[in-house]
Amino acid sequence: MINNKVKIKTTNLNVYYGDKQALNDVNLEIHSKEVTALIGPSGCGKSTYIRCINRMNDVIDICRVTGSIEIDGNEINKKEIDVVSLREKIGMVFQKPNPFPKSIYDNVSYGPNIHGLAENKVKMDEIVETSLKKAALWNEVKDRLNEPGTSLSGGQQQRLCIARAISVNPEVILMDEPCSALDPIATAKIEELMDELKKSYTIVIVTHSMSQAVRVSQRTGFFHLGKLIEVDTTEKIFKNPNNKMTQDYITGRFG
Protein backbone atom coordinates (compact mmCIF):
# COMPACT_ATOMS: atom_id res chain seq x y z
CA MET A 1 0.00 0.00 0.00
CA ILE A 2 1.57 3.23 -1.10
CA ASN A 3 0.58 6.44 0.53
CA ASN A 4 1.12 9.67 -1.31
CA LYS A 5 0.81 12.22 1.45
CA VAL A 6 4.19 13.82 2.02
CA LYS A 7 5.14 14.18 5.68
CA ILE A 8 8.75 15.27 5.37
CA LYS A 9 10.31 16.99 2.42
CA THR A 10 13.92 18.02 2.06
CA THR A 11 14.99 20.23 -0.80
CA ASN A 12 18.59 20.91 -1.77
CA LEU A 13 19.68 19.72 1.61
CA ASN A 14 23.42 20.14 2.14
CA VAL A 15 25.29 19.25 5.29
CA TYR A 16 28.88 20.12 6.10
CA TYR A 17 31.06 19.04 8.99
CA GLY A 18 33.60 21.82 8.89
CA ASP A 19 34.97 21.75 5.34
CA LYS A 20 33.74 18.28 4.67
CA GLN A 21 30.46 17.96 2.85
CA ALA A 22 28.41 15.02 4.14
CA LEU A 23 25.19 15.55 2.19
CA ASN A 24 24.94 16.94 -1.30
CA ASP A 25 21.67 18.46 -2.56
CA VAL A 26 19.40 15.80 -1.16
CA ASN A 27 15.85 16.08 -2.43
CA LEU A 28 13.66 13.51 -0.75
CA GLU A 29 10.01 13.18 0.11
CA ILE A 30 9.04 10.93 2.96
CA HIS A 31 5.48 9.76 2.86
CA SER A 32 3.12 9.83 5.78
CA LYS A 33 2.30 6.62 7.69
CA GLU A 34 4.78 4.58 5.78
CA VAL A 35 8.15 3.11 6.54
CA THR A 36 10.95 4.62 4.48
CA ALA A 37 14.24 2.75 4.54
CA LEU A 38 17.53 4.51 3.92
CA ILE A 39 20.33 2.30 2.72
CA GLY A 40 23.85 2.83 1.47
CA PRO A 41 27.48 2.16 2.32
CA SER A 42 29.01 3.25 5.58
CA GLY A 43 29.71 6.96 5.67
CA CYS A 44 27.31 7.85 2.85
CA GLY A 45 25.31 10.19 5.10
CA LYS A 46 22.28 8.18 6.24
CA SER A 47 22.62 9.11 9.91
CA THR A 48 23.45 12.66 8.98
CA TYR A 49 20.23 12.79 6.96
CA ILE A 50 17.92 11.55 9.68
CA ARG A 51 19.63 13.75 12.26
CA CYS A 52 18.60 16.74 10.15
CA ILE A 53 14.94 15.85 10.54
CA ASN A 54 14.92 16.39 14.30
CA ARG A 55 17.72 18.94 14.24
CA MET A 56 20.07 16.67 16.14
CA ASN A 57 22.95 18.02 14.09
CA ASP A 58 22.53 21.29 16.02
CA VAL A 59 24.50 19.83 18.88
CA ILE A 60 27.51 19.25 16.62
CA ASP A 61 29.43 22.55 16.59
CA ILE A 62 31.14 22.15 13.25
CA CYS A 63 27.97 21.02 11.50
CA ARG A 64 26.23 23.34 9.06
CA VAL A 65 22.93 22.52 7.39
CA THR A 66 21.62 24.42 4.36
CA GLY A 67 18.53 23.91 2.26
CA SER A 68 14.97 23.27 3.20
CA ILE A 69 13.46 20.70 5.55
CA GLU A 70 9.69 20.79 5.67
CA ILE A 71 7.45 18.85 7.96
CA ASP A 72 3.80 19.00 6.92
CA GLY A 73 4.83 21.90 4.71
CA ASN A 74 6.41 23.91 7.55
CA GLU A 75 10.07 24.83 7.32
CA ILE A 76 12.02 23.55 10.31
CA ASN A 77 15.53 24.43 9.19
CA LYS A 78 15.43 27.93 10.66
CA LYS A 79 16.56 29.52 13.90
CA GLU A 80 13.13 30.38 15.29
CA ILE A 81 12.07 26.75 15.48
CA ASP A 82 11.57 25.48 19.03
CA VAL A 83 13.77 22.40 18.91
CA VAL A 84 12.32 20.91 22.09
CA SER A 85 8.78 20.81 20.75
CA LEU A 86 10.09 19.64 17.37
CA ARG A 87 11.69 16.66 19.08
CA GLU A 88 8.42 15.95 20.83
CA LYS A 89 6.96 15.39 17.37
CA ILE A 90 9.93 13.46 16.11
CA GLY A 91 11.21 10.57 18.16
CA MET A 92 14.48 8.83 17.59
CA VAL A 93 15.80 5.35 18.25
CA PHE A 94 19.51 4.69 17.96
CA GLN A 95 21.63 1.78 16.88
CA LYS A 96 22.78 1.02 20.40
CA PRO A 97 19.92 0.88 22.90
CA ASN A 98 20.57 3.82 25.21
CA PRO A 99 18.15 3.73 28.14
CA PHE A 100 18.68 6.43 30.73
CA PRO A 101 20.29 5.21 33.95
CA LYS A 102 16.89 5.26 35.55
CA SER A 103 14.05 2.84 36.21
CA ILE A 104 12.07 1.32 33.38
CA TYR A 105 9.13 3.47 34.43
CA ASP A 106 11.16 6.67 34.54
CA ASN A 107 12.66 5.96 31.13
CA VAL A 108 9.20 6.06 29.64
CA SER A 109 7.77 8.87 31.79
CA TYR A 110 10.74 11.14 31.20
CA GLY A 111 9.51 12.65 27.95
CA PRO A 112 5.85 13.10 28.93
CA ASN A 113 7.14 14.74 32.11
CA ILE A 114 9.26 17.29 30.27
CA HIS A 115 6.49 18.08 27.85
CA GLY A 116 3.86 18.16 30.60
CA LEU A 117 1.68 15.53 29.00
CA ALA A 118 0.29 14.04 32.24
CA GLU A 119 -1.50 16.11 34.87
CA ASN A 120 -1.23 13.44 37.53
CA LYS A 121 0.27 10.09 38.47
CA VAL A 122 -2.74 8.10 37.23
CA LYS A 123 -2.47 9.72 33.82
CA MET A 124 1.28 9.10 33.76
CA ASP A 125 0.81 5.43 34.70
CA GLU A 126 -1.54 5.18 31.80
CA ILE A 127 0.93 6.73 29.36
CA VAL A 128 3.71 4.44 30.57
CA GLU A 129 1.52 1.37 30.22
CA THR A 130 0.22 2.16 26.74
CA SER A 131 3.68 3.11 25.50
CA LEU A 132 5.16 -0.13 26.79
CA LYS A 133 2.25 -2.06 25.31
CA LYS A 134 2.70 -0.42 21.92
CA ALA A 135 6.37 -1.29 22.09
CA ALA A 136 5.40 -4.90 22.81
CA LEU A 137 7.32 -4.84 26.07
CA TRP A 138 4.60 -4.49 28.71
CA ASN A 139 4.14 -8.17 29.47
CA GLU A 140 7.84 -8.63 30.02
CA VAL A 141 8.31 -5.67 32.38
CA LYS A 142 4.99 -4.94 34.08
CA ASP A 143 6.16 -6.54 37.33
CA ARG A 144 9.56 -4.87 37.37
CA LEU A 145 8.86 -1.26 36.40
CA ASN A 146 11.13 0.05 39.14
CA GLU A 147 14.16 -1.91 38.07
CA PRO A 148 16.79 -0.04 36.07
CA GLY A 149 16.27 0.09 32.30
CA THR A 150 19.82 -1.12 31.89
CA SER A 151 18.91 -4.42 33.60
CA LEU A 152 16.96 -5.46 30.52
CA SER A 153 18.36 -7.50 27.65
CA GLY A 154 19.56 -5.66 24.54
CA GLY A 155 16.38 -6.40 22.60
CA GLN A 156 14.22 -5.36 25.54
CA GLN A 157 16.26 -2.19 25.98
CA GLN A 158 15.69 -1.35 22.33
CA ARG A 159 11.96 -1.80 22.76
CA LEU A 160 12.18 0.34 25.91
CA CYS A 161 13.78 3.05 23.79
CA ILE A 162 10.96 2.71 21.31
CA ALA A 163 8.44 2.98 24.16
CA ARG A 164 10.29 6.09 25.29
CA ALA A 165 10.15 7.50 21.78
CA ILE A 166 6.42 6.92 21.39
CA SER A 167 5.48 8.03 24.92
CA VAL A 168 5.30 11.65 23.78
CA ASN A 169 2.97 10.81 20.90
CA PRO A 170 5.35 11.71 18.12
CA GLU A 171 4.33 11.94 14.50
CA VAL A 172 7.60 10.67 13.13
CA ILE A 173 9.93 7.99 14.44
CA LEU A 174 13.52 7.97 13.21
CA MET A 175 15.39 4.72 13.68
CA ASP A 176 19.10 4.48 13.07
CA GLU A 177 20.01 0.80 12.63
CA PRO A 178 17.70 -0.18 15.48
CA CYS A 179 18.26 -3.92 15.12
CA SER A 180 21.96 -4.14 14.41
CA ALA A 181 22.73 -5.36 17.91
CA LEU A 182 19.76 -7.70 18.22
CA ASP A 183 19.17 -11.42 17.72
CA PRO A 184 16.66 -12.62 15.10
CA ILE A 185 13.81 -12.93 17.60
CA ALA A 186 14.31 -9.47 19.05
CA THR A 187 14.69 -8.18 15.48
CA ALA A 188 11.45 -9.88 14.47
CA LYS A 189 9.67 -8.25 17.43
CA ILE A 190 10.89 -4.80 16.42
CA GLU A 191 9.94 -5.41 12.80
CA GLU A 192 6.49 -6.59 13.85
CA LEU A 193 6.25 -3.48 15.99
CA MET A 194 7.12 -1.28 13.03
CA ASP A 195 4.29 -2.82 11.03
CA GLU A 196 1.97 -1.84 13.86
CA LEU A 197 3.47 1.60 14.45
CA LYS A 198 3.30 2.67 10.84
CA LYS A 199 -0.49 2.76 11.10
CA SER A 200 -0.11 5.83 13.31
CA TYR A 201 3.39 7.13 12.67
CA THR A 202 5.71 8.00 9.84
CA ILE A 203 8.85 5.91 10.21
CA VAL A 204 12.29 6.41 8.73
CA ILE A 205 14.72 3.58 9.30
CA VAL A 206 18.38 3.41 8.46
CA THR A 207 19.44 -0.16 7.92
CA HIS A 208 22.39 -2.07 6.58
CA SER A 209 20.25 -5.11 5.93
CA MET A 210 18.65 -5.06 2.51
CA SER A 211 16.44 -7.93 3.58
CA GLN A 212 15.23 -5.88 6.51
CA ALA A 213 14.51 -2.92 4.25
CA VAL A 214 12.46 -5.24 2.05
CA ARG A 215 10.58 -6.66 5.03
CA VAL A 216 9.69 -3.43 6.81
CA SER A 217 9.59 -0.59 4.31
CA GLN A 218 7.35 0.61 1.53
CA ARG A 219 9.90 3.00 0.05
CA THR A 220 13.66 2.84 -0.06
CA GLY A 221 16.25 5.50 -0.69
CA PHE A 222 19.80 4.64 -1.66
CA PHE A 223 22.57 7.05 -0.64
CA HIS A 224 26.11 7.08 -1.93
CA LEU A 225 28.85 9.57 -1.00
CA GLY A 226 26.36 12.07 0.38
CA LYS A 227 24.03 11.92 -2.61
CA LEU A 228 20.62 10.38 -2.85
CA ILE A 229 21.12 8.13 -5.86
CA GLU A 230 17.67 6.62 -6.16
CA VAL A 231 14.42 6.51 -4.26
CA ASP A 232 11.47 4.38 -5.22
CA THR A 233 9.05 1.83 -3.89
CA THR A 234 10.94 -0.85 -2.05
CA GLU A 235 9.54 -3.45 -4.41
CA LYS A 236 10.94 -1.64 -7.43
CA ILE A 237 14.31 -1.18 -5.75
CA PHE A 238 14.78 -4.82 -4.84
CA LYS A 239 13.37 -6.30 -8.05
CA ASN A 240 14.60 -3.89 -10.66
CA PRO A 241 16.30 -0.68 -9.57
CA ASN A 242 16.79 2.01 -12.19
CA ASN A 243 20.31 2.90 -11.22
CA LYS A 244 23.25 0.60 -11.78
CA MET A 245 24.94 1.82 -8.61
CA THR A 246 21.87 0.89 -6.60
CA GLN A 247 21.85 -2.55 -8.15
CA ASP A 248 25.57 -3.13 -7.60
CA TYR A 249 25.18 -2.11 -3.97
CA ILE A 250 22.15 -4.20 -3.08
CA THR A 251 23.47 -7.26 -4.89
CA GLY A 252 26.84 -7.08 -3.16
CA ARG A 253 28.87 -6.04 -6.17
CA PHE A 254 30.11 -2.74 -4.82
CA GLY A 255 33.85 -2.19 -4.91
Partner 1 sequence: MSDEAHIVKSYEEELQNLNDSLIKMGSLTESQLADSMEAIIKVDKESADKIIANDAKINELRAKIDNQIMTVLVKRAPMAIDLRITISTLKISHDLERIGDLAKSVAKKIKPLPHDLPKELIGSLRRLGDLVQKQLRNVLDAYLNKSKESAITIWKNDEQVDDLTNTAMNEVADFLGKSKKNLELATHLLFVTKNIERAGDHITNIAESLYYLIEGEYLEGARPKGKDIEKN
Ligand X SMILES: Nc1ncnc2c1ncn2[C@@H]1O[C@H](COP(=O)(O)OP(=O)(O)OP(=O)(O)O)[C@@H](O)[C@H]1O
Q: Which residues bind partner 1 (CB under 8 A)?
A: 210-211, 214, 237-241, 244, 246-248, 250-255
User: Residue 104 Cβ, how far from Mg ion at the closest point, in Å?
Assistant: 27
Query: Is 60 an interacting residue with respect to ligand X (CB under 6 A)?
Result: yes
Point out which span in 22-30, 47-55, 83-91, 96-104 binds Mg ion (CB under 5 A).
47-55
Footprint (CB under 5 A) of Mg ion, residues 11-40: none
State which of residues 44, 90, 104, 175 lies at the interface with ligand X (CB under 6 A).
Answer: 44
SS (H, E, C) the chain: CCCCCEEEEEEEEEEEECCEEEEEEEEEEEECCCEEEEECCCCCCHHHHHHHHCCHHHHCCCEEEEEEEEECCEECCCCCCCHHHHHHHEEEECCCCCCCCCEHHHHHHHHHHHCCCCCCHHHHHHHHHHHHHHCCCHHHHCCCCCCEHHHCCHHHHHHHHHHHHHCCCCCEEEEECCCCCCCHHHHHHHHHHHHHHCCCCEEEEECCCHHHHHHHCCEEEEEECCEEEEEEEHHHHHHCCCCHHHHHHHCCCCC
The one-letter amino acid code at 111 reads G
Residue number with CB closer to partner 1 (201 or 223):
223
79 or 239: CB nearest partner 1: 239
- Quick one: what does residue 250 bind among partner 1, ligand X, Mg ion, none, with the CB cut-off 5 to 8 Å set by partner type? partner 1
Q: What angle do CA 242, 246, 247 make, to 5 degrees?
A: 80
Choose among partner 1, ligand X, Mg ion, none what residue 146 binds, the Cβ cut-off being 5 to 8 Å by kind: none
- Selected from 7, 46, 134, 189, the binder of ligand X by CB under 6 A is 46
* 219 is a site residue for ligand X (CB under 6 A): no
Residue 253 interacting partner from partner 1, ligand X, Mg ion, none (CB closer than 5 to 8 Å by kind): partner 1
- Tell me the residue length of the chain: 255
- Applying CB under 5 A, which of residues 7, 10, 45, 47 lies at the interface with Mg ion? 47
Q: d(Cα 64, Cα 66) in Å, to the nearest integer?
A: 7
Which of 18, 146 has the CB closer to ligand X?
18
Q: Applying CB under 6 A, does 241 fall inside the site for ligand X?
A: no
Rounded least distance, CB 247 to partner 1, Å: 5
184 binds, among ligand X, partner 1, Mg ion, none (CB under 5 to 8 A by kind): none
Q: Hey, which residues between 120 and 149 contact ligand X (CB under 6 A)?
A: none
Nearest distance in Å: CB 155, partner 1: 22
Chain residues that interact with Mg ion, rule: CB under 5 A = 47
